[in-house]
Amino acid sequence: MPGAPESPLGRSPDRDVEQYLRHLALERSLARNTVIAYRRDLGAYTAWLAARGIASVRDADRMVLDEYAGHLAARFSATSTARMLSSVRSLHRWLLLEERVETDAARALVAPKRPQRLPKALTQAQVTALLDAVSGDDAVQLRDRALLELLYATGARVSEAVGLNVDDVIDREIIRLTGKGDKQRIVPLGSYAREALDAYLVRVRPGLSVRGIATPALFLGQQGRRVSRQNAWLIIRRAAERAGLTVEISPHTLRHSFATHLLEGGADVRVVQELLGHASVATTQIYTHLTVDSLRDAYTLAHPRAR
């Protein structure tokens, strides 16, 4: 499935777009990765306008925007199209609020309806197999075990996990995660994650830290630098291969599994919302569909009058 179109991430030739991106970063304090995503989407938009002889986003009218929406829909998935059009709508709404244009040309722009995609979660047995695959006693496996135990124990996004510093381990029982928009939340650690993290901090990290420039990063690679998101993905992939798991697994899979298993265990959806760092409980409620499906399947198989 094609993703978003490629576009340069350098400065935009359109001054309005560049000032809007500064507004997102400085005034709205959006995360760096979010601003990069806006820059990519709006870069594709301005490049498409320029190819049609339209030098400024201020000159795009409703007809032009409808044509752009059709251009995206013909080339990309509904999800990618909806995201890119959302960036364009936000830009034009800002132009109106800043009184740079008299009307919002994108106000009535309709994005394609995105299909609801339920997150994939591992079973508890699969999670156990994944974690057991990094139960060795060497430095790499001790680090990998600590990372995977933490991801599953906290539901952290991979960017939150690799972004952790040693000081974010407030004590043996809680850590501080920094999520989207630099919003922080406190999340408890289970006993398995605590033991794995303790083993890594005492037996592995000191040796890794002397290999590179001093860094406060919690998880370090072989060169003493902070583990990247890409490295975290590879760590999970290697563990899944060793565990013989054939299902597709990513760092986000452990986050989905964390939420699903909590709800299956009876946790309140608002508690799970807080632990995941979701701004809206509506985002968290997608996981309730998974647990309802599990209950329905169990009922159908077990109740004598269910079929």
Give residue 88's domain range. 15-97
268 and 174 assigned to the same domain: yes
Looking up residue 199, the CATH number of its domain turns out to be 1.10.443.10
Residue 212 resides in a domain? yes
160 and 287 assigned to the same domain: yes
Looking up residue 52, the CATH number of its domain turns out to be 1.10.150.130
Residue 157 a catalytic site member = yes
pLDDT digits (tens, 9 = 90+) for 224-258: 999 999 999 999 999 999 999 988 888 888 988 99
pLDDT of 24 over the 70 cut: yes
**Cross-strand pairs, 188:** 174
State residue 1's pLDDT score.
38
**198, amino acid identity:** D
H-helix or E-strand spanning residue 177: strand 174-178
State residue 116's pLDDT score.
57
Q: What is the pTM of this model?
A: 0.60
Residue 15 a catalytic site member = no
Residue 210 resides in a domain? yes
pLDDT of 12 over the 80 cut: no
Residue 233's nearest CA partner among 215, 218, 253 is 253
Dist CA 167 CA 215 (whole Å): 11
Dist CA 143 CA 134 (whole Å): 9
Q: Would you state the structure tokens that stand for residue 103, as one six-digit string? A: 């009307």
Residue 117 a catalytic site member = no
Domain boundary pick from 79, 97, 115: 97
Dist CA 278 CA 288 (whole Å): 14
274 and 161 assigned to the same domain: yes
Q: Which of 89, 256, 261, 278 is catalytic?
A: 278
pLDDT of 5 over the 50 cut: no
Poorest-confidence range of 4-8, 39-43, 120-124, 193-197? 4-8
227 and 179 assigned to the same domain: yes
Residue 181 resides in a domain? yes
Dist CA 289 CA 32 (whole Å): 32
Q: Which of 145, 157, 194, 261 is catalytic?
A: 157
pLDDT band for position 26 (50/70/90)? Answer: very high
193 and 285 assigned to the same domain: yes
pLDDT band for position 273 (50/70/90)? Answer: confident
Residue 289 resides in a domain? yes
Domain tally, the chain: 2
Q: Which of 62, 180, 225, 226 is catalytic?
A: 180
Poorest-confidence range of 30-34, 91-95, 98-102? 30-34
59 and 135 assigned to the same domain: no
State residue 97's pLDDT score.
94
pLDDT band for position 9 (50/70/90)? Answer: very low
Which residues lie below 8 Å from residue 156, measured CB to CB, with a gap of 6+? 150, 177, 187, 255
* Residue scoring higher pLDDT (65 or 283): 65
Q: Do 222 and 138 form a contact (C-beta atoms < 8 A)?
A: no
Q: Which of 62, 71, 237, 252 is catalytic?
A: 252
* Cα–Cα separations (whole angstroms), residue 139 to 143, 191, 205: 6, 20, 9
Residue 183 a catalytic site member = no
Q: Which of 83, 143, 205, 255 is catalytic?
A: 255
Which residues lie below 8 Å from residue 45, measured CB to CB, with a gap of 6+? 57, 68, 84, 87, 88, 91
Residue 287 a catalytic site member = yes
- Taking residues 292-301, report their average pLDDT: 53
188 and 264 assigned to the same domain: yes
Quick check: helix, strand or coil at residue 131? helix
Residue 107 a catalytic site member = no
Residue 116 resides in a domain? no
167 and 259 assigned to the same domain: yes
Dist CA 22 CA 20 (whole Å): 5
Which class for 171: exposed (0-12), middle (13-18), buried (19 or more C-beta within 10 A)? exposed
**DSSP alpha helix (H) spans, 221-285:** 229-243, 251-264, 269-276, 281-284
State residue 291's pLDDT score.
54
164 and 208 assigned to the same domain: yes
Residue 203 resides in a domain? yes
Residue 209 resides in a domain? yes
92 and 237 assigned to the same domain: no
State residue 275's pLDDT score.
86
59 and 177 assigned to the same domain: no
Residues above pLDDT 90, as percent of the chain: 58
168 and 229 assigned to the same domain: yes
Domain boundary pick from 82, 97, 112: 97
Residue 6 resides in a domain? no
Q: Do 217 and 225 form a contact (C-beta atoms < 8 A)?
A: yes
